[in-house]
Amino acid sequence: MTRTAKVVRATSETDIGVFVDLDGTGSADVETGVGFFDHMLCALARHSLVDLTVRAKGDVHVDDHHTVEDTGIVLGQALREALGDKRGIRRFGSVMVPLDEALVMAAVDISGRGELFWDVPIGPDKVGTFDTELAHEFFAGFARDAGITLHLRLVCGENAHHIIEATFKAAARALREAVESDPRVEGVPSTKGSL
């Protein structure tokens, strides 16, 4: 069974296409028009081992908000579709990831209930031209539309670039663990029988 999905979403603000392969090698082919965000999506792919293709065109002449948030939404939809009925997955994943002085904790439950629990204060408002608050917007859209419970918490850190990058890498590593197939799991890993 292939665990892949392609999702396209077009609005008056953005036109986004995403392809994911949950059993990939972490390759990324990303073009969003937002340089720092492309860098973060490549890190997400690499550390989750999810192959990821993203093509996003957005109203970046206004700002990057719609492009970043809507990419999270479409990526979440693609993840949900690729997971199918969720049979045989590990379901849970958690990790702590350091990046120099920054340390971020991430925990994922592929629960079917999409919600983000964010405790990642970021001091500077910008990394280059990227608004640091958009990291939250990306993960909120992603978690909601993927149907996952996602906890992200900053343990320590000062540099905004390091904090955001550690957050993406931690989310990726936790996700990698949660979506992995577990040969000991029969059916869906829930006492309810569905996720």
Q: Does position 194 have pLDDT exceeding 90, yes or no? A: no
At 25, list the tokens.
């090698």
Residue 18 has a pLDDT of 98
Measured CA to CA, the distance from residue 8 to residue 75 in angstroms comes to 10
Strand order in the sheet with 28-31: 4-10, 14-21, 51-58, 28-31
Residue 24 has a pLDDT of 97
pTM for the complete prediction?
Answer: 0.96
| Domain limits, the chain | 4-179
Residue 187 has a pLDDT of 87
Give residue 191's pLDDT band: very low, low, confident or very high (50, 70, 90).
confident
Question: Among candidates 157, 153, 154, which has minimal Cα distance to 102?
Answer: 157
Q: Does position 1 have pLDDT exceeding 80, yes or no? A: no
Average pLDDT over residues 87-106: 98
Q: Among 3.30.465.10, 3.30.230.40, 1.10.260.40, 3.40.50.970, what is the CATH number of 4-179? A: 3.30.230.40
Residue 122 has a pLDDT of 95
Measured CA to CA, the distance from residue 40 to residue 167 in angstroms comes to 9
Residue 136 has a pLDDT of 98
Adjacent-strand bridge partners of 130: 127
* CA-to-CA separations, 74 to 110, 177, 184, in angstroms, rounded: 17, 21, 31
List pLDDT tens digits, range 58-83. 999 999 999 999 999 999 999 999 99
List pLDDT tens digits, range 130-189. 999 999 999 999 999 999 999 999 999 999 999 999 999 999 999 999 999 999 998 888
CB 162 within 8 A of CB 84: no
Q: Which residue has the higher pLDDT, 121 or 194?
A: 121
* CA-to-CA separations, 105 to 147, 150, 153, in angstroms, rounded: 20, 11, 5
CB 139 within 8 A of CB 108: no
Measured CA to CA, the distance from residue 70 to residue 171 in angstroms comes to 18
Measured CA to CA, the distance from residue 27 to residue 45 in angstroms comes to 6
Give residue 123's pLDDT band: very low, low, confident or very high (50, 70, 90).
confident
